[in-house]
Structure 1
Protein backbone atom coordinates (compact mmCIF):
# COMPACT_ATOMS: atom_id res chain seq x y z
CA UNK A 1 0.00 0.00 0.00
CA UNK A 2 1.53 3.34 -1.00
CA UNK A 3 1.35 6.58 1.01
CA UNK A 4 -1.59 7.94 -0.99
CA UNK A 5 -3.75 4.95 -0.10
CA UNK A 6 -2.81 5.23 3.57
CA UNK A 7 -3.58 8.95 3.67
CA UNK A 8 -6.74 8.45 1.61
CA UNK A 9 -8.05 5.80 4.00
CA UNK A 10 -7.32 8.07 6.96
CA UNK A 11 -9.17 11.00 5.38
CA UNK A 12 -12.21 8.96 4.37
CA UNK A 13 -12.60 7.46 7.84
CA UNK A 14 -12.60 4.01 9.38
CA UNK A 15 -15.91 2.96 7.83
CA UNK A 16 -14.70 3.60 4.28
CA UNK A 17 -11.43 1.82 5.02
CA UNK A 18 -13.32 -1.20 6.39
CA UNK A 19 -15.64 -1.23 3.37
CA UNK A 20 -12.59 -1.15 1.07
CA UNK A 21 -11.30 -4.18 2.97
CA UNK A 22 -14.52 -6.06 2.21
CA UNK A 23 -16.64 -5.50 5.34
CA UNK A 24 -20.37 -5.23 4.57
CA UNK A 25 -22.18 -2.90 6.99
CA UNK A 26 -25.52 -3.08 5.19
CA UNK A 27 -27.90 -0.15 5.17
CA UNK A 28 -29.07 1.92 8.12
CA UNK A 29 -31.75 0.06 10.02
CA UNK A 30 -31.03 -3.35 8.52
CA UNK A 31 -30.06 -4.81 11.90
CA UNK A 32 -33.37 -3.53 13.30
CA UNK A 33 -35.39 -5.17 10.53
CA UNK A 34 -36.46 -1.87 8.97
CA UNK A 35 -36.76 -1.18 5.23
CA UNK A 36 -33.96 0.65 3.45
CA UNK A 37 -36.17 3.38 1.94
CA UNK A 38 -39.67 4.78 2.27
CA UNK A 39 -42.13 4.62 5.17
CA UNK A 40 -40.79 2.73 8.16
CA UNK A 41 -37.14 3.35 7.30
CA UNK A 42 -34.69 5.07 9.64
CA UNK A 43 -35.11 8.85 9.66
CA UNK A 44 -32.22 10.66 7.99
CA UNK A 45 -30.17 13.19 10.01
CA UNK A 46 -31.35 16.20 8.00
CA UNK A 47 -35.00 15.55 8.81
CA UNK A 48 -34.22 14.91 12.47
CA UNK A 49 -32.21 18.11 12.79
CA UNK A 50 -34.98 20.05 11.03
CA UNK A 51 -37.58 18.58 13.40
CA UNK A 52 -35.64 19.48 16.55
CA UNK A 53 -35.00 22.98 15.17
CA UNK A 54 -38.76 23.49 14.65
CA UNK A 55 -39.51 22.13 18.14
CA UNK A 56 -36.84 24.33 19.73
CA UNK A 57 -38.10 27.41 17.88
CA UNK A 58 -41.66 26.69 18.99
CA UNK A 59 -40.50 26.31 22.59
CA UNK A 60 -38.55 29.57 22.41
CA UNK A 61 -41.61 31.42 21.13
CA UNK A 62 -43.76 29.96 23.91
CA UNK A 63 -41.13 30.79 26.55
CA UNK A 64 -40.80 34.33 25.25
CA UNK A 65 -44.55 34.89 25.16
CA UNK A 66 -45.34 33.40 28.54
CA UNK A 67 -42.40 33.77 30.86
CA UNK A 68 -39.22 35.58 30.07
CA UNK A 69 -39.52 38.79 28.11
CA UNK A 70 -36.10 40.36 27.85
CA UNK A 71 -34.05 37.90 29.94
CA UNK A 72 -32.36 35.63 27.38
CA UNK A 73 -30.92 33.20 29.95
CA UNK A 74 -34.30 32.71 31.63
CA UNK A 75 -35.97 32.33 28.24
CA UNK A 76 -33.55 29.56 27.26
CA UNK A 77 -34.11 27.73 30.55
CA UNK A 78 -37.89 27.98 30.21
CA UNK A 79 -37.67 26.81 26.60
CA UNK A 80 -35.70 23.73 27.68
CA UNK A 81 -38.35 22.91 30.29
CA UNK A 82 -41.12 23.41 27.74
CA UNK A 83 -39.25 21.15 25.26
CA UNK A 84 -39.05 18.44 27.93
CA UNK A 85 -42.76 18.65 28.80
CA UNK A 86 -43.82 18.88 25.16
CA UNK A 87 -41.65 15.89 24.19
CA UNK A 88 -42.91 13.72 27.05
CA UNK A 89 -46.54 14.54 26.30
CA UNK A 90 -46.44 14.27 22.52
CA UNK A 91 -44.00 11.38 22.05
CA UNK A 92 -45.70 9.51 24.88
CA UNK A 93 -49.16 9.85 23.32
CA UNK A 94 -49.00 10.25 19.54
CA UNK A 95 -45.35 9.28 18.95
CA UNK A 96 -44.15 12.59 17.51
CA UNK A 97 -43.55 16.21 18.41
CA UNK A 98 -44.91 19.03 16.21
CA UNK A 99 -41.53 19.27 14.45
CA UNK A 100 -41.43 15.53 13.81
CA UNK A 101 -44.99 15.63 12.49
CA UNK A 102 -44.00 18.46 10.11
CA UNK A 103 -41.05 16.41 8.82
CA UNK A 104 -43.13 13.21 8.77
CA UNK A 105 -41.19 11.36 11.47
CA UNK A 106 -42.35 9.20 14.36
CA UNK A 107 -40.63 7.71 17.41
CA UNK A 108 -41.39 4.02 17.94
CA UNK A 109 -40.02 1.20 20.08
CA UNK A 110 -37.31 -0.99 18.53
CA UNK A 111 -39.76 -3.82 17.98
CA UNK A 112 -42.48 -1.48 16.71
CA UNK A 113 -45.38 0.12 18.55
CA UNK A 114 -45.44 2.90 21.12
CA UNK A 115 -42.81 3.62 23.72
CA UNK A 116 -43.72 3.05 27.34
CA UNK A 117 -43.82 5.97 29.78
CA UNK A 118 -40.49 5.07 31.38
CA UNK A 119 -38.70 4.87 28.04
CA UNK A 120 -40.22 8.18 26.93
CA UNK A 121 -38.97 9.85 30.12
CA UNK A 122 -35.46 8.40 29.68
CA UNK A 123 -35.38 9.53 26.06
CA UNK A 124 -36.57 13.07 26.84
CA UNK A 125 -34.19 13.57 29.78
CA UNK A 126 -31.26 12.45 27.63
CA UNK A 127 -32.43 14.66 24.75
CA UNK A 128 -32.48 17.70 27.03
CA UNK A 129 -28.91 16.92 28.14
CA UNK A 130 -28.07 17.18 24.39
CA UNK A 131 -24.78 15.27 24.42
CA UNK A 132 -26.37 11.82 23.92
CA UNK A 133 -28.32 13.19 20.94
CA UNK A 134 -25.04 14.18 19.28
CA UNK A 135 -23.51 10.68 19.55
CA UNK A 136 -24.86 8.34 16.85
CA UNK A 137 -24.50 4.63 16.23
CA UNK A 138 -24.02 2.94 12.84
CA UNK A 139 -27.78 3.02 12.20
CA UNK A 140 -27.87 6.80 12.70
CA UNK A 141 -29.69 6.57 16.04
CA UNK A 142 -28.71 9.00 18.76
CA UNK A 143 -27.51 7.64 22.08
CA UNK A 144 -30.74 8.92 23.66
CA UNK A 145 -32.77 6.74 21.27
CA UNK A 146 -30.48 3.77 21.72
CA UNK A 147 -30.65 3.86 25.52
CA UNK A 148 -34.45 4.24 25.41
CA UNK A 149 -34.61 1.41 22.82
CA UNK A 150 -36.39 3.75 20.42
CA UNK A 151 -36.13 4.40 16.68
CA UNK A 152 -37.06 7.50 14.69
CA UNK A 153 -38.69 6.38 11.46
CA UNK A 154 -40.20 8.03 8.40
CA UNK A 155 -43.98 7.90 8.08
Structure 2
Protein backbone atom coordinates (compact mmCIF):
# COMPACT_ATOMS: atom_id res chain seq x y z
CA UNK A 1 0.00 0.00 0.00
CA UNK A 2 1.23 3.48 -0.85
CA UNK A 3 1.32 6.00 1.97
CA UNK A 4 1.63 9.77 1.95
CA UNK A 5 5.41 9.67 2.55
CA UNK A 6 5.93 7.62 -0.63
CA UNK A 7 4.15 10.19 -2.78
CA UNK A 8 6.11 13.20 -1.58
CA UNK A 9 9.53 11.62 -1.23
CA UNK A 10 10.64 12.13 -4.85
CA UNK A 11 10.32 15.90 -4.37
CA UNK A 12 12.95 15.82 -1.65
CA UNK A 13 15.56 14.20 -3.89
CA UNK A 14 17.25 10.84 -3.49
CA UNK A 15 17.32 9.28 -0.05
CA UNK A 16 20.70 8.08 1.04
CA UNK A 17 21.40 6.53 4.43
CA UNK A 18 23.48 9.12 6.21
CA UNK A 19 25.46 9.03 9.39
CA UNK A 20 24.34 11.20 12.32
CA UNK A 21 25.19 14.83 11.74
CA UNK A 22 25.47 14.45 7.97
CA UNK A 23 23.34 16.28 5.40
CA UNK A 24 23.55 17.15 1.71
CA UNK A 25 26.04 19.98 1.34
CA UNK A 26 27.97 19.35 4.55
CA UNK A 27 31.06 18.22 2.63
CA UNK A 28 30.81 21.49 0.69
CA UNK A 29 30.68 23.57 3.86
CA UNK A 30 27.02 24.51 3.42
CA UNK A 31 24.43 24.80 6.19
CA UNK A 32 21.83 22.08 6.67
CA UNK A 33 18.87 24.41 6.14
CA UNK A 34 17.96 28.03 5.57
CA UNK A 35 19.65 30.62 3.40
CA UNK A 36 22.60 29.37 1.34
CA UNK A 37 21.80 25.70 1.98
CA UNK A 38 21.30 23.34 -0.95
CA UNK A 39 18.03 23.93 -2.78
CA UNK A 40 15.56 21.02 -2.66
CA UNK A 41 14.76 19.12 -5.85
CA UNK A 42 11.20 20.48 -6.05
CA UNK A 43 12.45 24.09 -6.22
CA UNK A 44 15.00 23.24 -8.90
CA UNK A 45 12.34 21.43 -10.94
CA UNK A 46 9.78 24.21 -10.52
CA UNK A 47 12.34 26.84 -11.56
CA UNK A 48 13.14 24.81 -14.67
CA UNK A 49 9.44 24.47 -15.54
CA UNK A 50 8.88 28.23 -15.12
CA UNK A 51 11.85 29.00 -17.39
CA UNK A 52 10.77 26.46 -20.00
CA UNK A 53 7.18 27.71 -20.24
CA UNK A 54 8.37 31.32 -20.37
CA UNK A 55 10.66 30.45 -23.29
CA UNK A 56 7.85 28.56 -25.04
CA UNK A 57 5.59 31.60 -24.67
CA UNK A 58 8.28 33.89 -26.13
CA UNK A 59 8.81 31.49 -29.05
CA UNK A 60 5.05 31.42 -29.70
CA UNK A 61 4.89 35.23 -29.60
CA UNK A 62 7.63 35.39 -32.20
CA UNK A 63 5.50 33.03 -34.26
CA UNK A 64 8.25 31.00 -35.85
CA UNK A 65 7.66 27.32 -36.63
CA UNK A 66 11.32 26.54 -35.94
CA UNK A 67 11.40 23.72 -33.33
CA UNK A 68 14.79 24.91 -32.04
CA UNK A 69 13.61 28.42 -31.16
CA UNK A 70 12.30 27.69 -27.64
CA UNK A 71 15.36 25.61 -26.62
CA UNK A 72 17.58 28.32 -28.10
CA UNK A 73 15.84 31.04 -26.09
CA UNK A 74 16.08 28.83 -23.00
CA UNK A 75 19.83 28.31 -23.54
CA UNK A 76 20.42 32.02 -24.16
CA UNK A 77 18.46 33.00 -21.04
CA UNK A 78 20.34 30.52 -18.86
CA UNK A 79 23.80 31.30 -20.18
CA UNK A 80 23.44 35.06 -19.92
CA UNK A 81 21.48 35.37 -16.68
CA UNK A 82 23.21 32.62 -14.69
CA UNK A 83 26.65 33.84 -15.85
CA UNK A 84 26.01 37.44 -14.80
CA UNK A 85 23.39 37.34 -12.01
CA UNK A 86 23.60 33.77 -10.73
CA UNK A 87 19.95 32.99 -11.43
CA UNK A 88 17.44 32.70 -14.25
CA UNK A 89 13.91 34.09 -14.15
CA UNK A 90 12.56 30.75 -12.88
CA UNK A 91 15.30 30.50 -10.26
CA UNK A 92 14.47 33.99 -9.00
CA UNK A 93 10.74 33.21 -8.75
CA UNK A 94 11.29 30.06 -6.65
CA UNK A 95 14.04 31.60 -4.52
CA UNK A 96 17.17 29.75 -5.65
CA UNK A 97 20.49 30.76 -7.16
CA UNK A 98 23.47 29.17 -8.88
CA UNK A 99 26.89 29.76 -7.35
CA UNK A 100 30.40 28.44 -7.76
CA UNK A 101 31.73 26.57 -4.77
CA UNK A 102 33.57 29.73 -3.66
CA UNK A 103 30.25 31.65 -3.56
CA UNK A 104 30.68 33.80 -6.68
CA UNK A 105 28.41 33.83 -9.74
CA UNK A 106 29.40 31.12 -12.23
CA UNK A 107 30.68 33.28 -15.09
CA UNK A 108 30.31 32.64 -18.81
CA UNK A 109 32.28 29.38 -19.24
CA UNK A 110 30.77 27.56 -16.25
CA UNK A 111 27.31 28.80 -17.19
CA UNK A 112 27.77 27.56 -20.76
CA UNK A 113 28.90 24.09 -19.60
CA UNK A 114 26.02 23.87 -17.15
CA UNK A 115 23.40 25.01 -19.68
CA UNK A 116 24.54 22.60 -22.41
CA UNK A 117 24.24 19.70 -19.98
CA UNK A 118 20.84 20.86 -18.69
CA UNK A 119 19.55 20.91 -22.29
CA UNK A 120 20.68 17.28 -22.65
CA UNK A 121 18.34 16.50 -19.67
CA UNK A 122 19.95 13.20 -18.54
CA UNK A 123 22.95 14.78 -16.73
CA UNK A 124 20.53 16.93 -14.72
CA UNK A 125 18.69 13.80 -13.53
CA UNK A 126 21.76 12.03 -12.10
CA UNK A 127 22.69 13.21 -8.59
CA UNK A 128 25.58 12.67 -6.19
CA UNK A 129 25.49 12.39 -2.38
CA UNK A 130 25.13 16.17 -2.09
CA UNK A 131 22.12 16.23 -4.47
CA UNK A 132 24.20 17.94 -7.17
CA UNK A 133 23.42 16.94 -10.74
CA UNK A 134 26.14 16.04 -13.23
CA UNK A 135 25.65 19.45 -14.86
CA UNK A 136 26.60 21.14 -11.57
CA UNK A 137 29.50 18.75 -10.96
CA UNK A 138 30.93 19.40 -14.43
CA UNK A 139 30.59 23.18 -14.02
CA UNK A 140 31.74 23.27 -10.38
CA UNK A 141 28.50 24.93 -9.29
CA UNK A 142 25.80 24.40 -6.70
CA UNK A 143 22.16 25.53 -6.48
CA UNK A 144 21.41 27.27 -3.20
CA UNK A 145 18.37 28.73 -1.47
CA UNK A 146 18.36 32.52 -1.46
For normalisation by structure 1, the TM-score amounts to: 0.80
Match of 1:84 among 53, 71, 75: 75
Offset from partner CA, 1:41-82 (integer Å, 9 cap, x none) = 0000000000000000000001111143xx5xx34x211111
1:139-154 to structure 2, matched below 5 A, reads 139-154=130-145
Instruction: Give, in whole Å, the separation in 1 of the partners of 2:111 and 2:39.
Output: 18
1:29 aligns with 2:20: no
Contact kept in structure 1, 2:38 and 2:142, CA below 8 Å: yes
- 1:122 Cα deviation from its structure 2 partner: 0.6
- 1:118 Cα deviation from its structure 2 partner: 1.1
Instruction: Give, in whole Å, the separation in 1 of the partners of 2:15 and 2:53.
Output: 36
Contact kept in structure 1, 2:82 and 2:98, CA below 8 Å: yes
Instruction: Give, in whole Å, the separation in 2 of the partners of 1:46 and 1:36.
Output: 17
1:6-155 to structure 2, matched below 5 A, reads 15-16=16-17, 23=19, 26-68=22-64, 71=65, 74-75=66-67, 77-155=68-146
For normalisation by structure 2, the TM-score amounts to: 0.84
Offset from partner CA, 1:96-129 (integer Å, 9 cap, x none) = 0000000111100012111122111111111111
Give the root-mean-square deviation of aligned CA atoms. Answer: 1.8
Q: Which has the larger radius of gyration?
A: 1
Unaligned runs of 5+ in 1: 1-12
SS in 1 for 2:97: strand
SS in 2 for 1:27: coil
Unaligned runs of 5+ in 2: 1-13
Higher helix share: 1
